[in-house]
Amino acid sequence: MQTLRFSILMAGLLLLATFSFAQSPIAAFPFDSEGDFMDWTTPGNNWRWVEDGKAEMFDPTLWAGRGSILSRSQGGAAAIAGTSGVLVSPPVDLSGQSQVFLRFNQYYRALGGATFVRVTDVSTGAAQDFTINGNVLPQVETGPRAVEVIDITSIAADATIEVTFIFETTQYFWIIDDVAFYNTFPYPETRPAHYRDTFPALGYPYTPDDAGWPYAPNEIVVQIVPGTPPDSVEALRDTLGATLIDSCVCNSLQLWGLGDSVLYNQDGMLYPEGSTIDILERVKGASSSVIIQEADPNYYTVAELQPEMITDNPTLTQNDLAGIPDAIDDAVRIAVLDTGVDYKHEGFSGYIYKKPDALNNDTDDDNNCAADDPIGWDFVSDTGISNNPMDDHSHGTHVAGIIARTLDEACTDNCRFHILPYKTHDAQGVSSLFKVACATYQAIEDSAAVINDSWGFYGSGLGSDGENGILKNAIDSAEFNNILVVSAAGNDSLMLDTLLQYPACFDQTPNEITVGAVFDSTGVNGERVVGRALFSNFSDTWVDILAPGVEIGSYLPQDSFGIKSGTSMSAPAVSAAAAIVFCKLGRQTPYADVKSLLLNTADKIPSLDTVATDGNLLNILALCTTPTQTAPLSQDIHFYPNPARDAVQLELPPILEAAELEIFHLSGQRMGQWQFPPSAHPQNTSLDVGHFPSGTYLLRLRHKGQLWVGRLIKL
């Protein structure tokens, strides 16, 4: 029965992915040429055709060097600035149309007054006004890709109409392009294109970013500068008209709602209607950048899209944990950020443990910023007593099962491993930037050695400075804690140099290893046949290593077993290999040494050198014959508080080479750096932390290429 259910679901996913909402407009005005613009009328000639899509010709000083409107057609557009004016379309025949949507690109900055779209029935003279941009605050502008969609069925159905754009005198500028009429809702375009179909079909409202990737409309993930008083953060939210939706991991991150879009109900599903505000411009303005360290749109992330599974999701109670052993201190911990894990599956015996944090008492017994989390955390449902990282999809169980099965079959004598299940993706395989970033910080709190990310998203993926971002900051924080992050390359058959996927393609994240998929089979003559899986993304720059990812058998919920394919199946094999290295060489082994060992022992397949760097193909057996390296840094390191001086004492054993100590806030901000010279005698140093605000701090001591990591909590 389980196999039958799985087969039906996979078939449903295939149908979903191939169903199309391809749309063509009933009528369209792209303003490509001045001749197209001349078909419209503008009493007073205050609206003008601009060839470059800018309003610079009205007042170069006020325009201040902005770029063009970024519409689909590019090229020319209609524009007005600094004065009132109306722009009237030629008659548009919509006879026989039972519903009509007006769609146009706009680039708009508010100063005062209002903007309207008036639709007039030519035959009767009846008119209806639609107010737009009402939620754009003064001195705030939409992004240059903003799209407005208006349901004008009430006045335009089965009629011949004119559309008038009305601009009042106290406005700043307004640029209009690609005015078009549709008889079905015009879903926003995405890249890759098929997400334009699947996201609406699954009921997720979205707005695409500049690169075409969907994010939750008007939601923004915010990282506050450490030590900022809570009332200052609340005052900023009030100023911006934002609300606090959620926060996580001792308030490391916050999710804000800006409330600027109206949601349009189409067949019981909600889609954004109204201005697509440039939320980063709004939140990261001059007044807010003082206390905001980073801010990004709340991007959707995808593990495996599918309709919701029909399966029981048992409530997590004390009885459910019967038979699950207590956590062990010396186990190598592997965090699985996914759809959850069926932690009761018999295949995970010996890999799932419960920590000393009792359920249903709403108390953080183990001081890890998560109350009631004996075996993991559920970032999808409500937190607290309902915390349940049980898998209601199947992807996460399959991924975690590959880790467990790989460890079962490898050389893991005298090694113990602990899989940490974090439910970041829902029953349809969808998550958000906020949830996966929160889970990354939680994995740091829970002392993971390896984080497995068998999911991803495209789009800009970066912060406003082009280098940092919410998720990259989290991965950087994992680096400070000597954690290796294993990321799937993605399943869209793309050369990643042409469209970057994250987290796989973050630059300057040395603690990350990106994994592509291969088929690995036996030919008719018994020879080994290896090649890129056709679905796998590839790049000799961004993909570090390859692993089998075609028809991989692993566990499914409710003690089942099944087959899946994808780079999601390749990544956990590498995560398991990394965990083996950490076990054999010691948890304090620098992640760089672990990563180097995985790449250096990989098989070099010349035919795959354009698919991954050096054609690297994972070879776990080689790890069993590789000699252990230098022992970890001596454990004769002592670090303890000195409350009398608001300082901490560091005692080092004799060291033959110089050592370096750095202290970071959990957000990744470096708070201090100290150098220690070689010495034949122990060194005792007092470190002043009096200027540190309250919070959690990470200590990283490097000596002879080895790494010691500690933690300081200042109350």
Which tens digit of pLDDT belongs to each residue from 264-274? Answer: 444 444 444 43
Higher pLDDT, residue 373 or 21: 373
Long-range contacts of 190-198 (CB under 8 A, 24+ apart): 190/214, 191/458, 191/499, 192/458, 192/492, 192/494, 192/499, 194/17, 196/21, 197/16, 197/17, 197/19, 197/20, 197/21, 198/16, 198/17, 198/305
Q: What is the pLDDT of residue 287?
A: 53
DSSP annotation of 329 reads T
Q: What is the pLDDT of residue 633?
A: 47
The residues that bridge with 684 in the sheet, in sequence order, are: 651
| pLDDT above 90 for 254 | yes
Write out the H or E segment, with its range, that includes residue 248: strand 243-248
Q: What is the pLDDT of residue 271?
A: 44
Q: What is the pLDDT of residue 87?
A: 97
| pLDDT above 80 for 476 | yes
| pLDDT above 70 for 308 | no
pLDDT-based confidence at 253, cuts 50/70/90? very high
- Highest mean pLDDT of the ranges 62-71, 304-313, 546-555: 546-555
Q: What is the pLDDT of residue 629?
A: 41
User: What tokens were used for 478?
Assistant: 């994992």
369 Ramachandran zone, left/alpha/beta (phi>0; psi -120 to 50): left
pLDDT-based confidence at 459, cuts 50/70/90? confident
| pLDDT above 50 for 6 | no
Average pLDDT of the residues in 469-481:
94
Q: What is the pLDDT of residue 95?
A: 96
Higher pLDDT, residue 545 or 520: 545
Q: Which residues contact 307 (CB under 8 A, 6 or more apart)?
A: 9, 12, 13, 16, 202, 428
Query: CA 386, CA 372: separation in Å to the nearest integer?
Result: 9
Query: CA 616, CA 622: separation in Å to the nearest integer?
Result: 13
Query: CA 308, CA 430: separation in Å to the nearest integer?
Result: 11
Quick one: CATH architecture of 27-182? Sandwich (2.60)
Q: What is the pLDDT of residue 236?
A: 85
Q: What is the pLDDT of residue 120?
A: 98
Percentage of the chain beyond pLDDT 70 is 82
Question: Under a CB-based contact definition with an 8 Å cutoff, are residues 352 and 327 in contact?
Answer: no
| pLDDT above 70 for 642 | no
Phi, psi of 629 (to 5 degrees): -100, -165
DSSP SS3 for 453: strand
Average pLDDT of the residues in 142-146:
78
Q: For the chain, how many helices (H) and strands (E)?
A: 13, 38
**Amino acid occupying residue 653:** P
Q: What is the pLDDT of residue 155?
A: 97
- Highest mean pLDDT of the ranges 34-43, 246-255, 684-693: 34-43
Question: Under a CB-based contact definition with an 8 Å cutoff, are residues 580 and 623 in contact?
Answer: yes
DSSP annotation of 287 reads T
| pLDDT above 50 for 10 | no
**Amino acid occupying residue 491:** N
Nearest to 501 by CA among 439, 554, 458, 551: 458
pLDDT-based confidence at 438, cuts 50/70/90? very high
Higher pLDDT, residue 551 or 708: 551
Which tens digit of pLDDT belongs to each residue from 199-251? Answer: 888 888 888 877 788 998 888 899 988 888 889 889 888 877 789 999 988 87
Count Cβ atoms below 10 Å from residue 451 Cβ, excluding itself: 29
Average pLDDT of the residues in 52-70:
89
pLDDT-based confidence at 40, cuts 50/70/90? very high
Average pLDDT of the residues in 514-536:
89
From residue 629, alpha-carbon distances to 29, 232, 512, 593, 633 in Å are: 68, 50, 21, 9, 12
**Amino acid occupying residue 326:** D
Q: How many residues does the chain have?
A: 715
Q: What is the pLDDT of residue 250?
A: 80
- Highest mean pLDDT of the ranges 126-135, 279-288, 346-355, 489-498: 489-498
Question: Under a CB-based contact definition with an 8 Å cutoff, are residues 135 and 279 in contact?
Answer: no
| pLDDT above 70 for 318 | no
User: What tokens were used for 198?
Assistant: 């699947």
Q: How far is CA 567 from its chain centroid?
A: 17
User: What tokens were used for 624?
Assistant: 């069993």
Which tens digit of pLDDT belongs to each residue from 85-109? Answer: 999 999 999 999 999 999 999 999 8
Q: What is the pLDDT of residue 396?
A: 97
The residues that bridge with 554 in the sheet, in sequence order, are: 562
Question: Under a CB-based contact definition with an 8 Å cutoff, are residues 647 and 674 in contact?
Answer: no
Question: Under a CB-based contact definition with an 8 Å cutoff, are residues 421 and 444 in contact?
Answer: no
Rg (CA), the chain: 28
Q: What is the pLDDT of residue 382?
A: 60
Average pLDDT of the residues in 386-398:
89
Q: What is the pLDDT of residue 272?
A: 45
Q: What is the pLDDT of residue 653?
A: 84
| pLDDT above 60 for 371 | yes
Query: CA 383, CA 373: separation in Å to the nearest integer?
Result: 10
Strand 160-167 and strand 377-378: pairing?
unpaired
Query: CA 410, CA 554: separation in Å to the nearest integer?
Result: 16
pLDDT-based confidence at 256, cuts 50/70/90? very high
Q: What is the pLDDT of residue 13?
A: 29
Query: CA 574, CA 514: separation in Å to the nearest integer?
Result: 9
Q: Taking the domain 638-714, which CATH number applies?
A: 2.60.40.3080
Higher pLDDT, residue 111 or 581: 581
Average pLDDT of the residues in 44-59:
92
Percentage of the chain beyond pLDDT 90 is 46
Which tens digit of pLDDT belongs to each residue from 169-181? Answer: 777 899 999 999 9
Strand 214-224 and strand 528-532: pairing?
unpaired
Average pLDDT, rounded, for the chain: 83
Which tens digit of pLDDT belongs to each residue from 103-139? Answer: 999 999 888 778 999 999 999 999 999 988 877 777 7
User: What tokens were used for 455?
Assistant: 């999911």
Determine the longest span between alpha carbons in the chain, in angstroms. Answer: 97
Query: CA 216, CA 553: separation in Å to the nearest integer?
Result: 34
Cis previous bond, 503, omega within 30:
yes
What is the residue extent of each domain of the chain? 27-182, 195-299, 638-714
- Highest mean pLDDT of the ranges 59-73, 133-147, 466-480, 559-573: 559-573
The beta strand positions in 580-692, using DSSP E, are 603-604, 616-617, 638-642, 647-652, 659-665, 670-676, 683-688
